[in-house]
Amino acid sequence: MVEQTEAPHQLETNTTSWKLLFTCWLIAMLATLGSLFFSEIMGLIPCELCWYQRIFIYPLAVMLFIALHPLDTRVVRYALPLAIIGTLFTLYHCLLFYGLIPENLQPCRQGVSCSDEGMVLMGVLPIPLLSLAAFGMIAGLLLKIRTLAK
């Protein structure tokens, strides 16, 4: 919370934290809307790993928004575990996607494979990589906010 009696340097820290948190929220929102666009509008069927990643990104979009108004940097405590678990899922997904882990180890069911070539947007952007970037950036920024708050 922003207190009335804060020292100037504290206010500055808060402004920086707010900006960082805002960026986190923006990324979470883009990832949320993007994933919904892929599945609901473009009709791509989410593979099993995509579902796990969705589970960890959707609450971030809501939670981080709440923490912005008013600024509550304690949100890092709740948001960081989600971001880290999400990052682990995306890492695993990327390893699968690029064939660094053999196909038979993957938990996807028949129908939609997690290493499907359909996961490449416009021929250049693989969705697992986008997801890794989103989770990684959120986790990194949250860690930064945590250091600022100390």
Partner 1 sequence: MKQGHFTLIAILLMVVAFVAATMFHSSGEEKAMNERVSNNSTALIKDYSVKAGNPNAKVTLVEFMDPACGTCAQFHPFVKQLMQQQAGKMNLVIRYLPFHQGSDRMVAMLEAARKQDKFWEVLELMFATQAQWTINHVAQPDVFMGFIDRAGVDVARIKQDMNNPEIAKIIQQDMADGKLLGANKTPSFFVNGKPLPSFGYQQLQTLVESEVNVNY
Does 65 help bind partner 1 (rule: CB under 8 A)? yes
Check residue 122 for interaction with partner 1 (CB under 8 A). no
Residue 96 and residue 90 in contact, taking contact as beta carbons nearer than 8 Å: no
CA-wise closest residue to 87 among 32, 20, 140: 140
Q: Which is nearer to partner 1, 54 or 93 (CB)?
A: 54
Q: Which one, 30 or 94, has the nearer CB to partner 1? A: 30
**44 touches 38 (CB < 8 A):** yes
Q: Quick one: which of 4, 5, 104, 110 contacts partner 1 (CB under 8 A)? A: 110
The binding track of 8-47 with respect to partner 1, each residue x by CB under 8 A or -, is ----------x---x--xx--xx--x---x---xxx----
What minimum distance in Å lies between the beta carbon of 20 and partner 1?
13
Among 3, 5, 7, 69, binds partner 1 (CB under 8 A): 69
Q: How far apart are alpha carbons 39 and 17 in whole angstroms?
A: 33
Instruction: Rank residues 28 and 114 by Cβ distance to partner 1 and give the closer one.
Output: 28
Amino acid (1-letter code) at residue 41: I
Q: For binding to partner 1 (CB under 8 A), which residues are involved? A: 18, 22, 25-26, 29-30, 33, 37, 41-43, 65, 68-69, 71, 110
